Each structure stands twice: as structure tokens, then as C-alpha cells.
Amino acid sequence: MPETVRTQVPEDMMGFKKYVNDYKLENVKDKNGKVVTKTVYRGDYFVYRYKGTELKNARTAVIACVAVALTSFVLGLVFYRNTGFTSQYYTLAPFLCCGFPLIYLCIAAFNVIRTGEGKKVDREHKDGIHDRIAKCLTAIMVLDGLGVSGIAVSAVLKMTGVEERPFTYSDAIFMAAAGTLLISAVLAFSPRKKLIMDKI
């Protein structure tokens, strides 16, 4: 029988309207014989649509791309210096904003890791995988795309002599980090389609 993942949520978290109807309050007896009220999931369950090698390759590709994206983002921040020609608000701001969807993307990737083939998940867990990955990747591609465009503008200004600050090692690392982050998001966008789930 497939393993089941049940989400137990506190009663004060039942205000999320999207999932509130998936939970019921039930009176059960604890080990001491006392009647206690517990929140129990009574909604639909979902499993991956794709199986076998297709699913394994998709999970591996998405997880690997997320790992590369996170590494690139961290390296870009660590080695960023306000001395080179790429240190412009229109290059740094979009890159920094990628941190927000990247956090949620990492959470989704963790859910992918702990949700194997045949494992049943609830609706909230399902949305936290396929839907969240799609939205986060789209946000990263748009934001980092703007940042990479800003780097291109900075390069043009440098070559035309308008920008006088030098080309430094931090510029090279930041450019590589921004480019790798964008490529990782693009590469993950196709395999994430095979992480879609169907109701059982």
C-alpha cells in the first residue's frame, strides 16, 4: 500500500480559506481514555502522474537546478563589491529580489525530496510542489532577467567610456552568478512539468 502523508494542523491555522474545508474536527480518545478534539485531514489525496524513470529524472533535474541556483545566489552576494562597473542599483536590486522566490523554491524542492513515487499527499502539499515551483521559477526568470539586462547595460556603458569604474574579479563572479541563476531557472522549468500530481 502507498505510504500516506497526513498533515496535522493546529486549530488556529484553520483560517486559510483555500484548505479549511479539507480538515475536520473529530473527538477521539487519547491513551488515558480522555476525549480530545483533533484536527484531521479529510480532503483529497494526490500522487505523481508520471512514474519510473521519467519521474526520477524530473525530480533529479529540478533538485539539481535548485541547488545550483541557491549556490549561485549565495556566491553572488558573498563576492559582491561596490567597486566594479556592475555595482548599479538596476543590477543588484533585481538579483536581491530573487532571494524571496528562491526561499520558497528551496522549500518546494525539499518537499520533492521527501515525496517519492507512490506517496500520497494532501492538497496543500501538492500545491506546495508543482504550483509553487512553477510560480517561483517564473518570478526568478523575470527578476534575474532584468538583472542580467542591467549587467548588459553596464557593460555597454563601460565599453563606451561612460562608466569609469574598473572591471574587477567581483564583477566577473557577480556576472557569472546572475547568469547561472537565470540558466538554472530556465533548465528547471521544463522538467518541473512532470512533477504534476493527479487526484486518486
C-alpha torsion angle, residues 167, 170, 172, 173 (rounded to 10):
-170
Same structural domain, 115 and 50: yes
Is 3 a domain residue?
Answer: no
Whole-prediction pTM: 0.79
CB 143 within 8 A of CB 70: no
User: How many CB atoms are closer than 10 A to CB 59?
Assistant: 23
* Residues 67-117: tens digit of each pLDDT: 999 999 999 998 888 777 777 888 889 999 999 999 999 999 999 999 988
> Both 86 and 22 in a single domain?
no
Do residues 38 and 106 both lie within one domain? no
- Domain-embedded: residue 6: no
The domain that contains 127 carries what CATH number? 1.20.120
Whether residue 106 is found in the same domain as residue 151: yes
Number of structural domains in the chain: 2
Residue 24 domain-assigned? yes
Same domain, 154 and 72: yes
- pLDDT band of residue 133 (cuts 50, 70, 90) is very high
Query: Do both 16 and 100 map to the same domain?
Result: no
Contact 184, 76 (CB under 8 A): no
Domain housing 18: 11-43
Distance CA 52, CA 8 (A): 30
Q: 10 Å Cβ neighbour count for 183?
A: 17
pLDDT in tens, 42-71: 888 999 999 999 999 999 999 999 999 999
Task: Let me know if residue 4 belongs to a domain.
Answer: no
